[in-house]
Structure 1
Amino acid sequence: MDNAAHESIFRPMKMDCDIAIIGGGLAGGTLALALAHAGFGVTLLDAAPAETHRAPDFDGRSYALALTSKRLLANLGLWDVLGPDSQPMNRIKVTDGRVGDASVALGLEFDSAELEEGPMGHMVEDRHLRAAMLDALDAAPGIDHRTGTRVTNQSAAEHGATLALEDGRDITAPLVIAADGRQSGTARRAGITRTGWDYPQTALVCAIAHERDHGGTAHQLFLPSGPLAILPLTGNRSSIVWSERRGLAEDINALSEEDYLTVLRPRFGDFLGEVSLAGARYSYPLNLTLADSLTAPRLALVGDAAHGVHPIAGQGLNAGLKDVATLADVLSSARRRGEDIGAPQVLDRYARWRRFDTSSLGLATDVFNRLFSNDSAALRAIRDLGMQAVNAAPGLRRVFMREAAGLSGELPELMARER
């Protein structure tokens, strides 16, 4: 073997950045900020054009951000912008049936006054969260944010990974992060299989204005066709996440605004007074999809690319943000020890930290949806007894509240530390 060939085999790859992230949604963008905050050079690749994410009607959702997710955003400098547009969730009420129906006993009530850390979470509209994230990405040093950039192929080698872009260019990095959603092409190209199934439900999402003050109370109603969440927004407004049987949901979403409200009103009663739509309506078919592995050679998965769950507990984004904080923690610690951040033993630490939580969340949301999305009198009696038993046990109720706030288990630094 001549000297030139010998050098070509053993010379390390020339890297374009420390970490390449595929997917510029909330998980990918927040991870880019967390890694840049830790001193990594990041290339963030987003297939969508910039104006798509900037459109005020891009998504239509609002998010129930757990206390630990708020800490993460605060430590990244985003909460100063988001705070004025956020609504604290002071109480959560869970009902097995329609609010206002005298025949239905209130099953559970959680009050943030029982937690010394403060509100369990805050509601933030997607349009505010996404805009704050994009502004921070534009201002952050160390982030090369490329929109309208599609990855068509990838390969992993001993010292790094190469991404082939649709425009013919390549990007090399020691580590690639897949944040490209439930149908992650990055995970599929790496040979990562998925476990999951479709639900016979579609989530109808909208915001409503209402006559009465919501008092910072979030309602979760378990109806036979699926859960209905009424989540407080700023002012006299609430976000609705309404799961219905798929065919019926499509018919409802096609109705006029007034007819849509005519179907919605009797499902949650009149406790908020007169209601009206306060924006566009959206629909999202529901499914469960869990990646069978969170890592592959030179690759880690975060957010919906790793786990997409039923919205019954409102924990999807919180789980993705915990991926972000955990991976940033693992990679920062590895670099301080002089390790290769894309080495299998480093990525295994991330996978071990997150695997139990993500699998448990997927199982819990699936079981709760199946248990409550029916009209069985026997199951309803069992459900109501169980909820009332929890409601009567302060210690157990506190466990559930800490879980909802994201305070259970070992927390990564960006979620454990108050800013």
Structure 2
Amino acid sequence: MFDVVIVGGGLTGLAVAAGIGAAGGRALVVEQEPVRRLVEPGFDGRVTAVALGSKRQLDRYGVWPLVGEAQPILNIVVGEKGSPAKVRYDHKDVGTEPFGWIVENRLLRKALLARLDELPEVEILGASRIEELDRAPERVTVKIRGGRTETTKLLLVTEGRYSQTRAQLGIDVQDWNYRQRAFVCTLAHEKPHEGLAVERFFPDGPFAMLPMTGNRSSIVWALEERLAEEVGRLDDGMFLAEVAERFGDALGQLELVGSRFAYPLRMVMAERATDRRVALVGDALRGIHPIAGQGWNLALRDVEAVVDLVSERLRAGLDPGDAATLEAYASRRRFDGLSMVAVTDGINRLFGNDIFPIKLARETGLAVVERIRPLKRLFMRHAMGTLMGN
């Protein structure tokens, strides 16, 4: 019997497995994609902002030393088109460590998989799926494609915001379509970025340039669906011209590296975090707008809660999937999750409105944050993920 079975082998599912395995628990990961596909360069093209608190967590799980290429975020500038009001964050104002690191998703998955290879009590099944679930009072039995059957005390659902297992369990969601698509790609540029991340807001959606290793940056450019369709039809040269128009010439000439990807943006929030012997983790519990770059950091706080609770129960010889454990998990993750949903949704709506009084309020707010140092440091510590003691 496994202590946990994890449905979904994305970043969140692999992180849960690493945490449980590092604590000595037995974990099985069931992933529908072949494992080798998860680390191919063309799999999704995205990068992840790993906050300082999240990096410390991955260190505890033995994952971070295996990451390799990671670009420190040393400074952040936030502003909007046509406004002199900006907020400039410098990591030196709150310590010596970076705000976080930008890492390619495939490199994170590669590091997580390498760590799982070191943990004898963790198994990952690629190109697999759970075909049947049977939940009894004392355990969950899963029938896996190919005829394999396993039992577990706790089923963790980490499939993402469109989880089929969550739907199969009858857990409803609130689903909000932002009617936006996010373009994601990697750019090479003439001049060094010096660890600067830039987020600029436009009436039709936010635009971010995130520093990567070398003279490279990743862009995350969210647009209303109508404009996204037009931009999606542009050739690479015209696409780069539009990017340069929004970002400016601070990094010199830009060159596209690899493919362009486009992702629809939706907010999804499950009506509850748990069910009998089941817990939702990460985007399966709630998927937020990428506007603040905090999606996986939020998911990792779910992971930490699960790992801590399961580890405590196993050390005490208790059931890691009983009602008390699940209630504690739901309670721990409720406020943080709801807060981040509200904040990211609110920022997207606030900066996506060009009505003059709202625009004036935005500019005033940015100016206030820039000038009041204690408030500014509070925002910086939140971005670093260190307010929770990580």
Bin of the TM-score, shorter chain as denominator length: over 0.9
Please, which of 124, 131, 137 is the counterpart of residue 103 of structure 2?
124
Aligned to 1:183: 162
Q: Distance in 2 between matches of 1:139 and 1:339?
A: 26
Aligned to 1:42: 27
Contact 1:18 1:175 in 2 (8 A): yes
| Gaps in structure 1 of 5+ consecutive residues | 1-15, 98-102
Please, which of 271, 281, 306 is the counterpart of residue 327 of structure 1?
306
Q: Give how far 1:117 is off.
A: 5.6
Matched AA of 2:8? G
Q: Identity of counterpart residues, as a percentage? A: 39
Matched AA of 1:85? E
Contact 2:83 2:363 in 1 (8 A): no
Aligned to 1:379: 358
Matched AA of 1:365? T
2:257 aligned with 1:278: yes
Q: Distance in 1 between matches of 2:160 and 2:318?
A: 29
Q: What SS class does the counterpart of residue 408 from structure 1 fall into? A: coil
Q: Distance in 2 between matches of 1:44 and 1:371?
A: 40
Aligned to 1:3: none
Which structure 2 residues correspond to residues 223-372 of structure 1 after superposition, within 5 A?
223-372=202-351
Aligned to 1:90: 74
Aligned to 2:140: 161
Aligned to 2:14: 29
Matched AA of 1:407? T
Q: What SS class does the counterpart of residue 85 from structure 1 fall into? A: coil
| Gaps in structure 2 of 5+ consecutive residues | none
Q: 1:213 to 1:117 in 2, by over 3 A?
A: closer
Matched AA of 2:329? Y
Deviations 1:300-351 (A, max 9, x none): 1111111111000001111111111111011111223332111111111111
Contact 1:224 1:375 in 2 (8 A): yes
Aligned to 2:193: 214
Q: Distance in 2 between matches of 1:116 and 1:173?
A: 43
Q: Give how far 1:105 is off.
A: 0.8
Q: Distance in 2 between matches of 1:122 and 1:222?
A: 22
Q: What SS class does the counterpart of residue 280 from structure 1 fall into? A: strand
Contact 1:22 1:178 in 2 (8 A): yes
Matched AA of 2:12? A
TM-score of the two chains, using structure 2 as the length reference? 0.97
Q: Give how far 1:135 is off.
A: 1.9
Please, which of 42, 53, 57 is the counterpart of residue 68 of structure 1?
53
Stretch moving more, 284-293 or 163-172:
163-172
Q: Distance in 2 between matches of 1:81 and 1:38?
A: 18
Contact 1:160 1:174 in 2 (8 A): yes
Aligned to 1:5: none
Matched AA of 1:377? F
Q: Distance in 2 between matches of 1:242 and 1:152?
A: 37
Deviations 1:37-84 (A, max 9, x none): 1111111111111232121111101111100111112222222232x4
Q: What SS class does the counterpart of residue 2 from structure 2 fall into? A: coil
Q: Distance in 1 between matches of 2:144 and 2:49?
A: 35
Contact 1:286 1:310 in 2 (8 A): yes
Deviations 1:377-409 (A, max 9, x none): 321111011111011011001111111111123
Which structure 2 residues correspond to residues 392-407 of structure 1 after superposition, within 5 A?
392-407=371-386
Q: Distance in 1 between matches of 2:160 and 2:303?
A: 14
Q: Give how far 1:153 is off.
A: 2.6
Q: What SS class does the counterpart of residue 259 from structure 2 fall into? A: coil
Contact 2:66 2:115 in 1 (8 A): no
Contact 1:96 1:380 in 2 (8 A): no
Contact 2:66 2:114 in 1 (8 A): no
Q: Give how far 1:165 is off.
A: 2.0
Matched AA of 2:55? K
Aligned to 2:2: 17
Contact 1:203 1:244 in 2 (8 A): yes
Which structure 2 residues correspond to residues 100-119 of structure 1 after superposition, within 5 A?
103-116=82-95, 118-119=97-98
| Structure whose alpha-carbon radius of gyration is higher | 1
Aligned to 2:181: 202
